[in-house]
Amino acid sequence: MRCGPGPSHVTKIGRVSPLRATLPEPWAGAHGVTRPTRSASVQSAFTLIELMVVLVLIGIMTAMIIPEMRGTFEDALLRSTSRDLVSVFEIASSRAVSLNQSLRVQLNTSDGHYLIERRMREGSREAFVPLKGVAGSEGRLDKRISIEVRTADAELQASTAGLEPQNSGETWAIAFNPDGTADAAQVSLRDRAGFRLALRINPITSRVSISDLKRQ
């Protein structure tokens, strides 16, 4: 007598029915293909109108920024030139006191060339010769900066003749004395945009002050 199921009750293990293999999974779509989400199906891109708007905005910003940058550069050049000239005047003043000699700054308003000279006696004759061995005693200012010089002597001569003081465009001489005094003078600097600075030399202390002038 056999124990257990008979041959008719033996479960056969074979291939899965093709119908069952093609059944979709619970998360699949109607045809067995997973549906993409909405965020994945939408592709981000710029349209032609959006690109044109961006280009117009860039052009407007560039047109606004470039003049400001140019003005900043011109202003920096003007103030840098004024500092260079102030340094020359300070060298002449300090050397005049230390050497106990009268010095003068020769400044050509046409080409911007400057030179510190010292007074030298040759017998009964006096002459000015270039100051040697001092850094910064000679140089040239930037050609893009216009220079105008007014001294007390020129103002006096012009007022006596009933004329307005004019800038001759020649070489001007500003003296610095051993006692710390100097010629009263004003040097006006102007850039290509019309902005101006005034360098005023105090005749008593020989100090130089810088102030802004009205734009021309």
Please say if the pLDDT value at position 3 is more than 90. Answer: no
Instruction: Look at the pTM and tell me if it is higher than 0.75.
Output: no
Q: What is the DSSP string of 171-186?
A: EEEEEE-TTS-B--EE
Q: Rounded distance, CA 90 to CA 100, Å?
A: 15
- Please list the residues that pair with 196 across neighbouring strands: 190, 213
- Report pLDDT digits (tens) over 65-93: 666 555 577 788 999 999 999 999 999 99
Q: What is the CATH number of domain 65-213?
A: 3.55.40.10
Dump pLDDT digits (tens) for 121-139.
877 788 889 999 999 999 9
DSSP 110-155: TT-EEEEEEEEEETTEEEEEEPPS-TTSEEE--TTSEEEEEEHHHH
With contact defined as beta carbons under 8 Å apart, do 102 and 178 qualify?
yes
pLDDT band, residue 215 (cuts 50/70/90): confident
Question: Rounded to the nearest 5°, which phi and psi values hold at 173?
Answer: -120, 125
| 145-180 pLDDT, tens digit each | 999 999 876 554 444 444 344 444 588 999 999 999
pLDDT band at 33 (very low <50, low <70, confident <90, very high): low
More confident residue, 108 or 37: 108
The amino acid sitting at 87 is S
